[in-house]
């Protein structure tokens, strides 16, 4: 417990409703919720698409991009802020 607090690891994921995701301008991929705000200007595919998908579900689009390798799919975790309430 102490270790997890020290390393700021959540034992339980934070759950977000669609309304919260819209307000906070997070992006949904699968059942996960991401904050790409700080990454938008760094995205190799450009900021525009990430700005467009703010508050939206980008699952289909994200997986259709061939440049999104398995490595990139794993790196999504760095941007994860929680999961979608079902
Ligand atoms: C961990 C997060 C992400 C990483 C590391 C990443 C990385 C990349 C890379 C390396 C490319 C190729 C750029 C090139 O060919 O020059 C790319 C393209 C692209 N990405 Fe991402 N991406 C991420 C998230 C997303 C998300 C959430 C979306 C939303 C749907 C997205 C949409 C696109 C699009 C539309 C392209 C352009 C494809 C094209 O021009 O053919 N990406 N991304």
Statement: residue 3 has pLDDT above 70: no
CA 72/CA 30 separation, integer angstroms? 15
pLDDT of residue 9: 63
| Residues with Cβ within 8 Å of residue 37, at least 6 apart in sequence | 25
> Which residue in this structure is represented by tokens 């259709």?
64
Average pLDDT, the chain: 92
Give phi and psi for 47, each to the nearest 5.
Answer: -75, -30
pTM of the model: 0.88
pLDDT of residue 11: 72
CA 49/CA 67 separation, integer angstroms? 14
pLDDT of residue 47: 98
Closest residue to atom 20 of ligand 1, CA basis:
45
Is any atom of ligand 1 closer than 6 Å to the C-beta of 85? no
Q: Which domains does the chain have, with CATH numbers?
A: 15-84 (3.10.120.10)
pLDDT tens per residue across span 29-75? 999 999 999 999 999 999 999 999 999 999 999 999 999 999 999 99
């Amino acid at each position: 417990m102490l270790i997890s607090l020290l390393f700021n690891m959540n034992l339980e994921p934070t759950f977000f409703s669609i309304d919260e995701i819209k307000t906070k301008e997070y992006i949904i991929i699968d059942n996960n919720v991401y904050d790409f705000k700080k990454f938008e200007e760094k995205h190799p595919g450009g900021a525009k698409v990430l700005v467009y998908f703010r508050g939206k579900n980008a699952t289909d689009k994200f997986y259709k991009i061939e440049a999104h390798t398995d490595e990139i799919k794993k790196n999504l975790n760095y941007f994860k802020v929680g999961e979608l309430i079902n």
